[in-house]
Amino acid sequence: MTKIGFIGLGIMGRPMALNLIKAGYDLTVYDIITEKMEELIKAGAHRGSSGKDVASRSEVVITMLPNSPHVREAVLGPNGILEGALPGTILIDMSSIAPLASQEIAAKVREKGIAMLDAPVSGGEPKAVAGTLAVMVGGPEETFERVKGILLAMGSSVTRVGEIGSGNVTKLANQIIVALNIAAMSEAMVLATKAGVSPEKVFQAIRGGLAGSTVLEAKVPLVLKGNFKPGFRIELHTKDLANALDTAHELGVPVPLSSVAMEIMQALKTDGKGGDDHGGIIQFYEQLAKVQVRG
């Protein structure tokens, strides 16, 4: 049985780790907030005391952390993964971080004989719980094939898109599309509501046409209930868009709509709504139009 270490047990990491336990893997877990480990321990995981400890007990180590600095610290910092991992260990970073950071970390761990994949995910908490995430993988094909079964325990779609860093490039593309879809949905639903047309009936009327989308299906029902409990927080989407803008600027790629979406999210963060689900983008439009979209 493959021994897996899992570091980072937040909104996404916790259900992903639970699905690995359900799939029968021998799992050792660690989070700097120790209380987050308790549910996993009760479910059958082993308790880790640090990244170094987890790595020393694992053949495959998975990280699911907020951003590039957190991954660097967990992998390369004191008591980190690199200190405990043996040659031949596979590191799978499933965080959403800057592609360049993935490449830099991979180069460091490669010096110790550790292979790395960047494998960010899409689908938010509901798909993490269901084990139906979309996983976008960058790294050596041979390494990918060795761990594909592990990734399929957490996702229904697992695709290698290229070499290290390309998984996070794909995730940035995904996050641009999701942000702009939510913004478009928000504009449309606020317009309908302000015009006196039921947003719920508008949703039913358009969902089967060209305007229909996964975003529409996932977010409109929550918006109609006024439910902005985070599946994916605005502040985290802002982080992803910041990485997207930085990467685009480095490459000389214009992304004007992404810049607008970023400013909308920044305004919501300033207004104290950074912890809301990214479907809460609609609140920006509601405030401007002085109308509330509810069923």
Query: Any idea which residues carry the catalytic annotation?
Result: 171
Please give the Cα distance from 120 to 170 (Å, whole number): 9
Residue of 278, 277, 265 whose CA lies nearest to 230: 277
CA-to-CA distance for 108 and 87, rounded, in angstroms?
Answer: 13
* Helix 99-110 × helix 234-251 angle, to 10°: 80
Cα 71 to Cα 28, 34, 91, 143, 252: the distances in Å are 18, 18, 11, 20, 26
What's the CA dihedral at 11, 94, 179, 287 to 10 degrees? 30
| C-beta separation of 35 from 12 below 8 A | no
CA distance 6 to 51: 9
End-to-end CA distance of the chain: 50
Task: Quote the distance between the C-alpha of residue 225 and its chain's center.
Answer: 24
